[in-house]
Amino acid sequence: MDREEKETVVSRNFIENIIDKDLAEGKYEKICTRFPPEPNGYLHIGHAKSILLNSGLAEEYHGQFNLRFDDTNAAKEKVEFVDSIKADVEWLGADFGDRCFFASDYFDVMYEKALLLIRKGLAYVSDLSAEQIREYRGTLTEPGTEDPNRNRPVEENLRLFREMKEGKYADGELVLRAKIDMSSGNINMRDPVLYRVAHIHHHNTGDKWCIYPMYDFAHPLEDAVEGVTHSICTLEFEDHRPLYDWVIENTEWEHPPRQIEFAKMYLTNVVTGKRYIKKLVEDGIVDGWDDPRLVTIAALRRRGFTPESIRMFITLSGVSKAHASSDYAMLEYCIREDLKMKKARMMAVLRPLKLIIDNYPEGETELLDADNNLENPEMGKRSIPFGRELYIEQDDFMEVPVPKYKRLYPGNEVRLMHAYFVKCTGVEKDADGRITAVHCTYDPETKAGSGFTGRKVKGTIHWVPAKESVTAAVRLYENLIDEEKGVYNEDGSLNLNPNSLTTIEDARLEPALADARPGDSFQFVRSGYYCADIHDSAPGHLVFNRIVSMKSSFKLP
Arithmetic mean of pLDDT over the chain: 94
What are the distances in angstroms from CA 116 to CA 50, 111, 122, 213, 406?
Answer: 33, 9, 9, 14, 80
CATH classification of the domain holding 20: 3.40.50.620
444 DSSP 8-state letter: G
Q: Does the residue 41 lie in any domain?
A: yes
Residues 215, 122: one domain? yes
- Per the structure, how many domains does the chain have? 2
- Give yes or no for a contact between 211 and 195, defined as CB atoms under 8 angstroms apart: yes
550 within domain boundaries: no
Nearest alpha-carbon partner for 299 in 507, 500, 499, 556 = 500
pLDDT(2) > 60:
no
pLDDT the model gives residue 11:
66
**Which of 418, 445, 439 has its CA nearest to residue 357?**
439
Q: Is the pLDDT of residue 503 over 70?
A: yes
Boundary of a domain, candidates 217, 236, 262: 262
Q: Inform me whether the pLDDT recorded for 485 exceeds 90.
A: no
Q: Is the pLDDT at 483 greater than 80, yes or no?
A: no
93 in the same domain as 221: yes
Render pLDDT for 254-306 as a digit per residue (tens, 0 to 9).
989 999 999 988 888 888 888 889 999 999 999 999 999 999 999 999 999 99
pLDDT the model gives residue 53: 96
Q: What is the model's pTM?
A: 0.91
DSSP sequence for 195-220:
EEE----BTTTBTS-SEEE-HHHHHH
For residue 321, pLDDT beyond 60: yes
What percent of the residues of the chain are helix, what percent strand, and what percent coil, each to the nearest 5?
30, 25, 45
pLDDT score, position 7: 42
- At residue 245, the 3 state secondary structure works out as helix
Query: Which tens digit of pLDDT belongs to each residue from 70-120?
Result: 999 988 898 999 999 999 999 999 999 999 999 999 999 999 999 999 999
Q: For 170-212, how does the pLDDT look when each residue is reduced to its tens digit (9 = 90+)?
A: 999 999 999 999 999 999 999 999 999 999 999 999 999 999 9
What is the share, in percent, of the chain residues with pLDDT greater than 70? 98
From 469, 490, 519, the end of a domain falls on: 469
Residue 424 C-alpha from the chain's centroid: 47
Do 217 and 195 contact (CB within 8 A), yes or no? Answer: yes
**Domain with 456 in it:** 345-469
Does 117 map to a domain?
yes
- The string of pLDDT tens digits covering residues 372-414 is 999 999 999 999 999 999 999 999 999 999 999 999 999 999 9
CATH, residue 464? 2.40.240.10
Predicted pLDDT at 488: 77
Residue 240 lies in a domain: yes
Minimal CA–CA distance to 33: which of 12, 11, 18?
A: 18
Q: 360, 423 in Cβ contact below 8 A?
A: no
The pLDDT value given to residue 75: 87
Contact 456, 381 (CB under 8 A): no
pLDDT tens digits, 326-366: 889 999 999 999 999 999 999 999 999 999 999 999 999 99
Closest Cα partner for 175 from 185, 189, 183, 165? 165
Helix (H) or strand (E) holding 32, with range, is: strand 32-35
Give the sign of the dihedral formed by CA 180, CA 183, CA 189, CA 192. Answer: positive
> Is residue 78 domain-shared with residue 211, that is, in the same domain?
yes
DSSP state of 401: P
Is residue 6 pLDDT above 50, yes or no?
no
Last residue of a domain, one of 448, 469, 490: 469
How many whole angstroms separate alpha carbon 67 and alpha carbon 50?
11
Q: How far apart, in Å, are the Cα atoms of 326 and each of 28, 93, 266, 269, 315?
A: 34, 22, 6, 10, 11
Instruction: Determine the pLDDT at residue 371.
Output: 96
CB neighbourhood size of 156 (10 A):
13
Same-domain check for residues 236 and 98: yes
Q: Is residue 154 part of a domain?
A: yes
User: Within a domain: residue 290?
Assistant: no
pLDDT-derived band at 9, boundaries 50, 70, 90: very low
Q: What's residue 269's pLDDT?
A: 83
Digit-coded pLDDT (tens) for 127-170: 999 999 999 999 999 999 999 999 999 999 999 999 999 999 99
Residue 417 in this model has a pLDDT that exceeds 50: yes
